[in-house]
Amino acid sequence: MRVFDIIAWILLVVGGLNWGLVALNYNPIYMLLGPEMSMWVYAAVGIAAIYAIIRKMFCTSCCK
């Protein structure tokens, strides 16, 4: 599970930085990858967020 945690963390950081830049009217993911690929990146960030929430809710021994 450690690999999924690292991937989720990276995706959440990328998503957070992207949203911070979107607030400044700059969307680097969309500009770099275009409309098709950026949709997949946004979906991956959303799945990573759901994974992190579920992991946090049900984590017992790994978080102590």
Give me the number of domains the chain comprises. Answer: 1
pTM: predicted TM-score of the whole model, two decimal places: 0.80
pLDDT surpasses 90 at 28? yes
Average pLDDT, the chain: 89
Structural tokens at position 47: 């799945």
Q: In this predicted structure, what is the pLDDT of residue 60?
A: 64
Q: Determine, yes or no, domain membership for 19.
A: yes
Q: Determine, yes or no, domain membership for 64.
A: no
Is residue 11 within 8 Å of 45, Cβ to Cβ? Answer: yes
Find the mean pLDDT for residues 21-26. 93
Q: What domain range includes position 22? A: 2-58
15 alpha-carbon distance from chain centroid? 5
